[in-house]
Amino acid sequence: MATTTRRKSARRQQLEATVTYPLDWLEERSGLIGATKYFLFRKVPRDTSWFHTLGSATLTAFLVQAITGVILAFYYKPDPDSAYESIQAITNDLTLGWLVRGMHRWGASVFVILMFLHMARVFLFGAYKYPRELNWIIGVLLLALGLAEGFTGYLLPWDQTAYWATVVGININATAPFLGPFIAQFLQGGAAIGDDTLSKFYALHMLAIPGALMGLIGLHLYLVMRLGVTSPPWSKEAAGRDRAPVVEPTTNGRSGLTRPGSRGGSNGS
Amino acid sequence: MPLMSEQEIGETYSRSGFLSFTTLGLGAVIGGVITVPVLGFAVLPSFTNQRKQNVELGPLEEFPEGRYVIATYLEDPEIGEVSRRTMFVRNNGLLETAPSFTILFSRCVHLGCPVQPNGPVDADKMKKVGEFNVELTPVQPSGFGCPCHGGQYDTEGNRTAGPPVRALDRAEFSVRDGKLWLGEYYSVGKVEGTGARARIQRYGHASPGVHVDGIESWLYPIEVPG
């Protein structure tokens, strides 16, 4: 094949140069193209299945929440006098507001459900075991923060459901031993829910928790990249099949990992 | 020999070690100076800047002896309905020469929903009194019930059924110039007896769901300020 490559037309060459030049420019100065390729194009076990897509589905749901949330914040007013009215305006008056609010509202449930399905997959596949324990721990933190997003976001419509659900939720916090009543009073910003509660929940929902989520998602993905994807428990493939058969403990201490042997010995070495 | 000893001194405490330590130490000091007040501002106002308002509930003649009246008002009219507080007020008559009132706070001590009177509410007889626009509505409750999780209380605020962990919270009162004024909240373990002669196990005001008596109260050793 290689001997009979068709000569490309001048126009096609020009077009390719137009596309690749800025990419090459970027790659030469930052290495970002190579890094992106290194991150995206990875070897995975042969018998991965749809179950392995739950993590990226959860990530997609999070991105939808982030984007729709920022846009909702264009129109939402976190003030006790106008919060409810601004939500009514988003839903009833503003063009396509009903859709974006609906995406954010129902997407919140989708995000939480996907987090649990992803966690169930990891648990049932045993994918939390060595050396991925730390990623399980980060995942548990992500779950807690995701639920905290749900809790803080629920107050923002500032209607009866929002108010009383938050009263009950905060007072459930208050029943925790020792520090519970202090946590509740901190969340309320006082002895009862008031205007401070709304702005506090808005700030947590918009700034603090999403920031923490993004940082932890970055760590989560880094560890997925570093440690690779697990085979399902019914896999007939031996773990780490791309590597030479292990006779003695390897010197680089990576025994048992499924990471393809791109750096260490390849087959037969 | 002098070279040797110089090296030995260098090993005990190197210049680079000292510089690393001072840089880190200075960084820690700067970080602390910035972080501590910011964290304090994040947490402390919830506990310190709590204004308490004294509210006049109305003239004494609005509270007939032995009958409950629903008294509801906005604690902070600027933030609106979210600050609505509701009390169930009963005139117990005179205890020897002093007036006696039972003032139950409507916040359920399970998880904070508003308890409702079980019995007919004379909504037609609602009237607004005083500078705080307190709405007074006569009611004949056989007890109080919470719509959220079904907690039930008798007319003294004792739990009779459901998940609440103590009796309904109460408020102190005072009478000035023939008018009833609302005082501080407090929490109640149990009430024995009724009306003016009731014996009330009184505790500091606690969050809903928090035990004030029994072994479970050991889980909440520190009272929340503010």
Partner residue opposite B79 with nearest CB, options A181, A191, A195: A195
pLDDT, tens only, A26-54: 999 999 999 999 988 888 888 889 999 99
In a domain, B80, yes or no: yes
- Average pLDDT on B187-212 reads 93
In a domain, B203, yes or no: yes
The answer, yes or no, to whether residue B98 has pLDDT greater than 60, is yes
* Cβ <8 Å between B210 and A163: no
The answer to whether the beta carbons of residues B178 and B58 sit under 8 Å apart is no
* Cβ <8 Å between B209 and A182: no
In a domain, B30, yes or no: no
Considering only CA atoms, which of B99, B58, B68, B96 is closest in space to residue B168? B68
Q: What are the phi and psi torsion angles at A95 (to 5°)?
A: -60, 125
**For position B224, what pLDDT does the model report?**
87
How are the residues of chain A apportioned to helix, strand and coil, as percentages rounded to the nearest 5?
65, 0, 35
Mutate to test the interface with B, among A82, A159, A161, A167 (most CBs of B within 10 A): A167
β-partners of residue B87 are B71, B105
Tally the domains of chain B. Answer: 1
Does the beta carbon of B207 lie under 8 angstroms from any beta carbon of chain A?
Answer: yes
* Residue keyed to tokens 């791309």: A242
CB-CB neighbours of B180 under 10 Å: 26
Contacts with A175 from chain B: Cβ below 8 Å: 207, 209-210
| pLDDT band at A262; cut points 50, 70, 90 | very low
Return all residues near A111 (Cβ < 8 A) that are at least 6 apart.
A58, A61, A62, A64, A65, A146
Considering only CA atoms, which of A247, A242, A239, A238 is closest in space to residue A262? A242
- Average pLDDT on B59-86 reads 91
- Average pLDDT on B198-212 reads 94
Over the range A56-83, which residues count as b (16 or more CB within 10 Å of their CB) and which as e? ebbbebbebbeebbebbeeebbbbbeeb
How are the residues of chain B apportioned to helix, strand and coil, as percentages rounded to the nearest 5?
25, 35, 35
Phi-psi region of B65 (alpha: psi -120 to 50; beta: other; left: phi over 0): beta
Q: What whole-number distance in Å separates Cα of residue B158 and Cα of residue B161?
A: 9
- Average pLDDT on B163-181 reads 94
Q: Rounded to a whole number, what is the distance in Å from the CA of A149 to chain B's nearest CA?
A: 19
Return all residues near A178 (Cβ < 8 A) that are at least 6 apart.
B219, B220, B221, B222
- Nearest-Å Rg of the Cα atoms of chain A is 25
Chain centroid to CA B169: how far? 9
pLDDT, tens only, A220-252: 999 999 998 888 888 876 655 555 555 555 455
Does the beta carbon of B50 lie under 8 angstroms from any beta carbon of chain A?
Answer: yes
Partner residue opposite A194 with nearest CB, options B43, B79, B148: B79
pLDDT, tens only, B5-34: 555 555 677 899 999 999 999 999 999 999
Q: Which residue has the higher pLDDT, B11 or A148?
A: A148
- Average pLDDT on B207-216 reads 93
Least confident of A47-56, A136-145, A188-197, B135-144: A188-197
In a domain, B32, yes or no: no
| Residue range of the domain that includes B186 | 47-218
In a domain, B56, yes or no: yes
Question: Residue B121 is part of a domain; what is its CATH number?
Answer: 2.102.10.10
The answer to whether the beta carbons of residues B109 and B208 sit under 8 Å apart is yes
**For position A263, what pLDDT does the model report?**
44
Q: Rounded to a whole number, what is the distance in Å from the CA of B130 to chain A's nearest CA?
A: 24
Least confident of A63-67, A213-217, B104-108, B126-130: B126-130
- Average pLDDT on B71-80 reads 88
The answer, yes or no, to whether residue A254 has pLDDT greater than 60, is no
Find the length of chain A: 269
**For position B8, what pLDDT does the model report?**
55
Least confident of A190-194, A208-212, B91-95: A190-194
In a domain, B6, yes or no: no
My answer on whether omega of the bond before B120 falls inside 30° of 0, hence cis, is no
State which of A108-117, A231-240, A250-259, B87-96 shows the largest mean pLDDT: A108-117
Average pLDDT of chain A is 88
* Burial (Cβ within 10 Å: 0-12, 13-18, ≥19) of residue A203: middle
pLDDT, tens only, A4-27: 556 778 999 999 999 999 999 999
| pLDDT band at B4; cut points 50, 70, 90 | low
Q: Rounded to a whole number, what is the distance in Å from the CA of B40 to chain A's nearest CA?
A: 12
Q: How far apart are the first and last CA of chain B?
A: 70
3-state SS assignment for residue A269: coil
Least confident of A157-166, A226-235, B106-115: A226-235
3-state SS assignment for residue A53: helix
Of chain A, the percentage scoring pLDDT greater than 90 comes to: 71
Does the beta carbon of B134 lie under 8 angstroms from any beta carbon of chain A?
Answer: no
In a domain, B81, yes or no: yes
Integer CA distances (angstroms), A267 to A36, A194, A232, A264, B226, in order: 26, 66, 22, 10, 69
Q: What whole-number distance in Å separates Cα of residue B178 and Cα of residue B181?
A: 10
* Cβ <8 Å between A175 and B210: yes
In a domain, B131, yes or no: yes
Q: Rounded to a whole number, what is the distance in Å from the CA of A187 to chain B's nearest CA?
A: 8
The answer to whether the beta carbons of residues A197 and A11 sit under 8 Å apart is no
* Cβ <8 Å between A194 and B208: no
pLDDT, tens only, B129-139: 988 899 999 99
Considering only CA atoms, which of B87, B102, B110 is closest in space to residue B160? B110
* Cβ <8 Å between A191 and B208: no
